[in-house]
Amino acid sequence: MAEEYAVNIDNVVKKFGDFAAVNGVSLKIKKGEIFGLLGPNGAGKSTTISMLLGLLQPTSGKIIINGIDMQKDSSTVRSHVGVVTQETVVEPELTAEQNLMIFGRLYHIPKAEMQKSIEFALKLSDLVQFRKAYAGTFSGGMKRRLEVSKSLMHTPDIILLDEPTTGLDVQNRTQIWNLLREINKKQGVTILMTTQYLEEADQLCDRIGIIDHGKLIALGTPDELRKSIGLSSVIEVTVEKEDLQKVAAIFKKVGLEPTVLNNKVTAPGGSNATKKIEMLLNSMSTSRINARNVSMHEPTIDDVFLKLTGSEVRDSSGEYQGSARGMIGRGR
Ligand SMILES: Nc1ncnc2c1ncn2[C@@H]1O[C@H](COP(=O)(O)OP(=O)(O)OP(=O)(O)O)[C@@H](O)[C@H]1O
Ligand SMILES: [Mg+2]
């Protein structure tokens, strides 16, 4: 019987001592999906990936990949799976081509097919013209592209990527997204990736699972998640830090329930959001508060995350430059 799911995680727990890093996660990923496991630092993303690779044994629960039980036959499973770990692992002293060759040998790619696989990977990573250059001289984005294409050389059906774009700038991040979209569309590779970037999950992934403190707290398409929080609109006012509390008080006065975050005050807009915005503007003007920005938008994945976890969303002032939207972080 053809297996419908690429990955089937059934009630998996991973404890380190008494601490459950993954605490009863169940998740089914369909073949051909791009699935994003979204969560802040320490949520349990890498621990989950390590169990899918057989590097860590679950304390309890079951993992089935392509219909094969990880506990019974992890080596067969590994031949179906491509891996990109959180740390970049290209050999700096070797050229792009040599890096690919070593990997190809490791995965027993037949000699007759080796050159074809290398050409495929160089083309996919857009590194053809850098084939003879040492990987140590590459930018972060080039190294990451080399890694992703390397992990696809043995033509796996599934690729697992642990934060493939963390620390990359917008241009490099977009290139990785395009590469992933291409192999998903053209080769039908199922993609399971972890990310801390809300925008990445939203734009790239067919479905998103939000993980926090080792538990899956939401699951669905980006649209389903947005709808699940039951908001029709979100009002957002950006002000100077010293005015935050005053603006929050004005929100309450006009009947809105404010959340203060970074230098923003947000609230569900409700049915008469436009009227509420007018009242806010009048009241802020009377109090001589200058807003840097006032807007109303459809709920975003940021709003979903905030509503579900109450956690802070870091804005573009962090290492994630150039995006209007944020990266998940914990309040510090
Ligand atoms: N070998 C280990 N021993 C003890 N605790 C561990 C071990 N590995 C991970 N943890 C803890 O388990 C929790 C989950 O860690 P994990 O690395 O899975 O998080 P993550 O979601 O990948 O975070 P990040 O975004 O920082 O990579 C963390 O609190 C971490 O400190
Ligand atoms: Mg991690």
Domain with CATH 3.40.50.300 in the chain: 5-223
pLDDT at 106: 87
CB atoms within 10 A of CB 281: 15
Q: Quick check: CB of 301 below 6 Å from ligand 1? A: no
54-104: pLDDT as tens digits = 889 999 999 999 999 988 888 888 888 999 988 878 899 999 999 999 999
CATH topology of domain 227-328: Alpha-Beta Plaits (3.30.70)
Distance (angstroms) between ligand 1 centre and the Cα of 143 equals 24
* Rounded percentage of the chain residues whose pLDDT exceeds 70: 92
How confident is residue 1, by pLDDT bands cut at 50, 70 and 90? low
127-151: pLDDT as tens digits = 999 999 999 999 999 999 999 999 9
213-232: pLDDT as tens digits = 999 999 999 989 888 877 77
Pull the structure tokens for residue 261.
């975050």
Q: Which of 68, 72, 71 is CA-nearest to residue 7? A: 68
176-208: pLDDT as tens digits = 999 999 999 999 999 999 998 888 998 999 999
Pocket-testing residue among 12, 14, 16, 49, ligand 1, by greatest number of atoms within 8 A of Cβ: 16
Domain with CATH 3.30.70.980 in the chain: 227-328
How confident is residue 321, by pLDDT bands cut at 50, 70 and 90? very low
Superfamily of domain 5-223: P-loop containing nucleotide triphosphate hydrolases (3.40.50.300)
Kindly list the distances between the CA atom of residue 35 and the CA atoms of 31, 133, 182, 194, 219, in Å, as whole numbers in the listed order. Answer: 10, 33, 15, 8, 10
Q: Which atom of ligand 1 lies closest to the CA of 196?
A: 25
Pull the structure tokens for residue 270.
């409700």
Q: What is the pTM of this model?
A: 0.83
Q: Kindly report the protein residue whose alpha carbon is nearest to atom 6 of ligand 1.
A: 16
Q: In what order do the strands lie in the sheet with 68-69?
A: 19-30, 5-16, 60-65, 68-69
Distance (angstroms) between ligand 2 centre and the Cα of 249 equals 38
Mean pLDDT rounded to a whole number for the chain: 88
